[in-house]
């Protein structure tokens, strides 16, 4: 491999990572292969940390390849079948990423509830107005249902051979 690749998450501190590279430029998506790249592999290094808008809890940095020779045993799956390797991990990734917004929803609720109880308009708390009550009830419904759906999806994922 001999290219610059950026935007990979948590790679700066890991001992190995999965990298997808074009091995046949004429084959479209069938020309992508998945590789396991190990820390300290000749021709591979990490570069600057990249700043990003969200998900700051996971470090993102550039990966640099300069005449990096990847041994055949580091091919993940089959040559030209990297798209399938990539897609096989998306179910778990989506499941893991779905948990974050639930925490954000709860944090928002922790701010909203005291506000609608304290803020007064026309002599009474705004939480007494039907529009606010309906919106909050729908929000609370989502906040109660989503964790159950997430747990159910997790159970389904664990029961399958992935």
Q: Please list the active-site residues.
A: 93
**CA 105 to CA 142: how far, in whole Å?**
9
Structure tokens at 162: 């992935």
**CA 9 to CA 55: how far, in whole Å?**
10
124-125/4-9 β-pairing:
unpaired
CA geometry: angle 107, 59, 89, nearest 5 deg:
85
Question: Which residue in the block uniquely carries the two structure tokens 């890991």?
Answer: 14
């Amino acid at each position: 491999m001999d290219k610059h690749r950026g935007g990979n998450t948590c790679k700066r501190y890991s001992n190995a990572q999965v990298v997808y590279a074009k091995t046949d430029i004429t084959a479209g998506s069938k020309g992508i292969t998945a590789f396991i790249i190990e820390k300290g592999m000749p021709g591979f290094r990490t570069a600057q940390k990249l700043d990003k808008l969200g998900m700051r809890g996971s470090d993102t940095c550039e990966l640099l390849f300069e005449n990096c020779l990847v041994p055949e045993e580091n091919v993940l799956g089959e040559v030209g079948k990297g798209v399938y390797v990539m897609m096989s991990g998306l179910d778990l990734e989506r499941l893991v990423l779905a948990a974050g917004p639930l925490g954000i929803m709860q944090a928002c609720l922790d701010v909203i509830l005291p506000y609608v109880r304290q803020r007064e308009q026309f002599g009474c708390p705004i939480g007494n107005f039907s529009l606010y009550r309906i919106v909050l009830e729908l929000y609370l419904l989502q906040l109660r249902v989503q964790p159950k759906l997430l747990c159910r999806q997790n159970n389904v994922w664990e029961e399958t051979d992935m």
